[in-house]
Amino acid sequence: MARNSPPSLASLLAQADHFIDPETGAVTPAIQPATTFARETTYALIGEHVYGRYGNPTLGQAEKVIAAAENAHEALLFSSGMAGFAAVIETLPTGSRVVAPRIMYHGGQDWLRRMGEKRDIKPHFFDAADPGALGAAIDDVKPQLVWIESPVNPTWDVIDIEAAASFAHDAGAKLAVDSTVAPPVTTRALDLGADLVFHSATKYLNGHSDVTAGCVAAREGSQFWDEIKYLRGYMGSHLAPFEAWLLLRGLRTLDVRYARACGNAMAIAEHFEGHRNVEAVLYPGLPSHPGHGIAKRQMTNGFGGMLSLLVKGGAEDALRVCARLELFVRATSLGGVESLVEHRATIEGPESAVPKNLLRLSVGIEAADDLIADLDAALRD
C-alpha cells in the first residue's frame, strides 16, 4: 500500500478506525454507560448525544467502524439481528410485497410469514439454487423490498448481488443483503449495489459467541433509512454499551479470524468431497459448487467458514455422525472461534425445507487437522 492511500480494511479493523482517546491517549475506548447527557446553561448539548435510546458514544464508536468497513453512509446496531430485521420490515407499508429466498435464515422467514398474516405484507419465496428464479420473481411480484442472503444458509447457494441490485432497482424495489456469513473483509454488498447490508453481528463481526447483536447499514441517506433509525430509537432496540464495546473488540480481529476459518473450511471441504459416507459437500469455495464462479467474483477474500455435509442416508445417519463428534460442539449459531455442528432440520422443525441428511458446520479457528480427524472418526462406517 502506498503511504498516502487509505489504510486497508485489515488495518482499519485492527485499530478500530485508528482509535486514540483524545484525553488519555488510550488505544481502546472506555465503556460509556450513561443513559442521559447534560446541557450547557444555554441549554445547548455539551456533546452530540441526548438520551441512551437514541445512541451513545460507545455504540457510536462501533457503528463508525462498521460503517467504514462496509463503505456505508451510516450503520446502526441493534440488540439482535432479528431486532434489526424486524425494524427493516416494519418500515414497509401494509400491502407491500417482499421477495426472499425459499431457504434462508429460518427466523427471518418465520417473521415474514407472520407479517403476511398480521400486516398483509406478502412474502414471495424463490429458489436460490435456480439462477433465473430471482429475476423472474421480481418481474412477477413487483416487490417493494428484495431481501437476499449470500451465501444462502445452510445450502450456501450464491446469489449474484450485482444482478439482484439491478433487477430490484429496475422494478423500483430496495435491495437488502444479509451478509452475516460474508462479512466486509470478503464481500461489500453496498459496493455491489445493495441499498442495505445486514448482519447478525452475533456471528462473525463479534466472533466469540458472547454478544447478541444486529447491524443494518445503508449505502446512502434516505427517508427509508431515517424511518429505520426512528424505529430503533422508539422501539428501544439499540445495542447496549457493554455489548457494543465487546463487539468493537471482536471487530479488531475479524480479518484474521475470518481468514483462518476460511482456510480451515476449505481444507475440510476438500478432504471430505468424495468421502464414501458423504453424498455431497456444499461449499462455495469448491470448483464443483454451482455458485463457485459468482463466489470468486463476490467473495474477494475467502469463501467463508460455513459449509454443509450431506451425509449418505437420512436424518438418523446424520444425527449419528453428529453424536460421534468430540471436538465440534453440538450447538446452534455460527461465526465464533469454536467449531459448531448443527442438524438444521431438527432445529427448524417439521416444516423445514432443509434436507434431513444435512449437517451444517460453522468452522472455527482450531487446527484444521484436529477438525478433520474429528469428522473422519465420526464419519466411519
Using CB under 6 A as the binding rule, the residues of this chain from 319 to 358 that contact ligand PLP are: 333-334
CB of 149 to ligand PLP, least distance (A): 6
Site string for ligand PLP, 233-272 (x = CB under 6 A): ----------------------------------------
Q: Which is nearer to ligand PLP, 107 or 313 (CB)?
A: 107
Q: Residue 356 and residue 328: Cα distance in Å, rounded?
A: 19
Contact segment (CB under 6 A) with ligand PLP among 40-48, 51-59, 78-86, 369-377 equals 78-86
* Nearest residue to ligand PLP, by Cβ distance, number only: 81
Q: Is 53 a catalytic residue?
A: yes
Q: Does 212 bind ligand PLP (CB under 6 A)?
A: yes
Pick one of 101, 123, 214, 305: the residue that binds ligand PLP (CB under 6 A): 214
CB of 22 to ligand PLP, least distance (A): 33
Q: Residue 164 and residue 167: Cα distance in Å, rounded?
A: 5
Q: Site for ligand PLP (CB under 6 A): how many residues?
A: 16
Q: Does 156 bind ligand PLP (CB under 6 A)?
A: no
- Catalytic residue (one of 17, 97, 105, 219): 105
- Catalytic residue (one of 97, 174, 188, 203): 203
Count other Cβ atoms within 10 Å, centred on residue 129.
Answer: 15
CB of 11 to ligand PLP, least distance (A): 27
Using CB under 6 A as the binding rule, the residues of this chain from 79 to 138 that contact ligand PLP are: 80-82, 105, 107-108
H helices present in the chain, as ranges: 9-14, 57-70, 81-90, 106-118, 133-141, 161-170, 223-235, 241-251, 254-272, 292-298, 315-324, 344-348, 368-378
Q: Residue 83 and residue 186: Cα distance in Å, rounded?
A: 25
Q: Residue 133 and residue 176: Cα distance in Å, rounded?
A: 17
Pick one of 180, 187, 298, 339: the residue that binds ligand PLP (CB under 6 A): 180
Q: Residue 92 and residue 108: Cα distance in Å, rounded?
A: 15
How many CA atoms lie within 13 Å of 247's alpha carbon, on the beta-carbon side? 32
Q: Is 203 a catalytic residue?
A: yes
Q: Residue 120 and residue 222: Cα distance in Å, rounded?
A: 24
Q: Which is nearer to ligand PLP, 12 or 190 (CB)?
A: 190
Using CB under 6 A as the binding rule, the residues of this chain from 190 to 209 that contact ligand PLP are: 200, 202
Q: Is the dihedral of CA 65, 66, 71, 72 positive or negative?
A: negative
CB of 182 to ligand PLP, least distance (A): 10
Contacts with 335 (C-beta within 8 Å, 6 or more apart), sequence order: 180, 181, 200, 202, 203, 204, 205, 206, 207, 305, 362
Q: Which is nearer to ligand PLP, 81 or 336 (CB)?
A: 81
- What is the Rg, in whole angstroms, of the alpha carbon atoms belonging to the chain? 21
Q: Is the dihedral of CA 50, 53, 59, 61 positive or negative?
A: negative
Is the Cβ–Cβ distance between 181 and 334 less than 8 Å?
yes
Q: Does 179 bind ligand PLP (CB under 6 A)?
A: no
Q: Which is nearer to ligand PLP, 278 or 361 (CB)?
A: 361
Binding site for ligand PLP (CB under 6 A): 80-82, 105, 107-108, 149, 153, 178, 180, 200, 202, 212, 214, 333-334
Which sequence positions are flagged as catalytic?
53, 105, 178, 203
